[in-house]
Structure 1
C-alpha cells in the first residue's frame, strides 16, 4: 500500500488543507491480495478525527495502516480543525468542505477511488463520530455506511463537552438552544431521512460504558432502532481514549459491508 500526505487548496475554506491517504497497492508477495486490477475501482473509507486531532491522528495513534493492509480499500484522513463538520455560525464552512468539496477532490486526485454509493463509507471518533453519522444521514445517497466510536451524537450534550468554552460551541453551532431540531442535530437528521424514503445507511456504534458520552450514545441507539435503521451497536468497559479506539477500529473494518468482507 501507499501512504501519502497531501497538501491542497480548499476553495470552500479559503486556505491550504491537509489529508493523509492510504491507497491499496498490488504487491507480488501477497498472492491473496484483495486489491482490484484492470478497470475495477476500490472502495474508500473517510476516517475522521476528534477534537484536538488532525489528519495525522489515526496514523500516529492507531495502526490503521497495518489493519487495512491487503484489504483493497483506500482510507482518507482529512484535517477539519475544530469545525465540528459543520458550516460554522461564525467561521468556515466545514460541512460543505467535507460533504462536497473533499470527495470531489479525492476523485480528481485519485481516479481509482470508486464513486459508487456501495463503495463509500465514513467513520470517526468523538467529534469525528458525530461527523461520520452526519455525513451518512445527510448524504445517504453517497455513503453506504458509517461507524461512530465514542461519538458525540446527542446535540443536547454539545454544550456540556467543555462547559468552560460555551462561546466556542456557539461560534460553531449558533445559539445552543436552537441546535435541537436543526440540521446539526443527528436525531432530527435521522428522523427526516427515514421520512424521506431515501436509502438508509448501515450504521455501527461503539461506546465505552465509562465514557462521558455514553448516555448520549444509548439515546441515539434507541432512536435509530425505533426508526428501523440497520444498526450494529456494541458497548464494553472503557472511557474516552485511544487504546479503545485502536482496538475497535479493527471491528469497524470487519463490519464494513465490503465485497471482500461479505464473500
Structure 2
C-alpha cells in the first residue's frame, strides 16, 4: 500500500469518522478435531476480494472473556476492522479462543487445545476456503490482552506458519497473575506447577527467536496493568538483539485504546507484506 494512500485514509477518517467501505464479513463454523467441537470465526474480506487473487491474512485474537465477534462489534468505530481490511487489501480472521484459553494447549484440560486449533486447524481451514497466500510470508497474527499473549506465543512457537506478529496490551507474562483469568484452570496452580507457568509465558520464549526471522510490533498503554510486563519483554528482546517495534502511548486496558492501536498494527503488517512483494 502506497504511503500517500495510507496518509489520505488517516486524514480522511479523522475528519469524517463515519466513512464506510465495502468489506464483507462472514461468520463460519470450523471444526477442531483435537477438541472435537465446532468453533466459530469471523472472516473479513476486503472489497477487492476475488477468488482469482491471493491475499495476505491477519489472524486477530480477542481477550479474556471475549469471543470471535469482539473485533467487529466492540471497537468505538464499529467498522474499524472492515475499513482497514479494505485499505490494506487484507483478509482478517477473528477466531473464537474460548473464554480464557490463553491460546496454548492446556496440559490438564483437553477441551482447551487452542494452540493446535489456531496454528494448525484454523489456518488450514482458511487456506482451503479462502483465496489466501499459503505461506508464512503472507500471514500475520496479533491480538489484545489474552490475545496479545496468544499472538506472540503462537508466532514464537510456529515461525513456519507466521511471518509477523504483534500484541496490544498483551499479558506477556503469566506469573504475576496466579489468581487471575482462570490461568490456573489451564495450567494448574502456580504454587504446584511453576514449570508450566514459566514455559507458557511469552517473556520466557525469546530463546526461540533469531534476529529478523519474525517481524514484531508490541503496543501497550502507559496506564495499563500489563505495562510493566511489556516493558520487561521489550528489554529482553533488546538484550537478545531481536528487532521489533515497541510503542507506548497514553492509555489503559480498554477498547478505546485497542480501537486506536489496531490501525498502527495493520499498517505495520501491511508494510511487512509489501516487503515480501505481496
The answer for the alignment partner of 2:56 in structure 1 is 43
Residue 45 (structure 1) shift? 0.1
CA distance in 2, matches of 1:95, 1:262: 29
The answer for the alignment partner of 2:248 in structure 1 is 235
8 A contact 1:36–1:72 mirrored in 2: no
Residue 58 (1) aligns with residue 71 (2): yes
Alpha carbons of structure 1 residues 90 and 206: separation in structure 2 relative to 1, 3 Å: same
8 A contact 1:146–1:204 mirrored in 2: yes
CA distance in 2, matches of 1:219, 1:11: 37
Q: Deviations over 1:191-227 (max 9, x none)?
A: 1334xx9x62111011111111110000000011111
Secondary structure in structure 1 of the residue aligned to 2:251: coil
- Which of the numbers 169, 179, 188 marks the counterpart of 2:183? 169
The answer for the alignment partner of 1:75 in structure 2 is 92
Residue 179 (1) aligns with residue 196 (2): yes
Secondary structure in structure 1 of the residue aligned to 2:242: coil
Unaligned runs of 5+ in 2: 1-22
CA distance in 2, matches of 1:104, 1:37: 17
- Which of the numbers 1, 25, 29 marks the counterpart of 1:3? 25
Residue 106 (1) aligns with residue 126 (2): yes
Give the TM-score of the pair, scaled to structure 1.
Answer: 0.86
The answer for the alignment partner of 2:205 in structure 1 is 189
The answer for the alignment partner of 1:12 in structure 2 is 34
Residue 3 (structure 1) shift? 0.9
- Which of the numbers 80, 97, 102 marks the counterpart of 2:117? 97
The answer for the alignment partner of 1:155 in structure 2 is 174
Q: Deviations over 1:77-126 (max 9, x none)?
A: 0001121101113322111111111101111121x111121110001000
Residue 173 (structure 1) shift? 1.8
The answer for the alignment partner of 1:29 in structure 2 is none
Give the TM-score of the pair, scaled to structure 2.
Answer: 0.81
Residue 47 (structure 1) shift? 0.1
Residue 220 (1) aligns with residue 233 (2): yes
Paired residues, what number? 244
Q: Deviations over 1:227-253 (max 9, x none)?
A: 111210010111100001000100111
8 A contact 2:25–2:42 mirrored in 1: yes
Q: CA RMSD in A?
A: 2.2
Q: Deviations over 1:33-84 (max 9, x none)?
A: xx6784x411000000000111100000122112221421100000011211
Secondary structure in structure 2 of the residue aligned to 1:159: coil
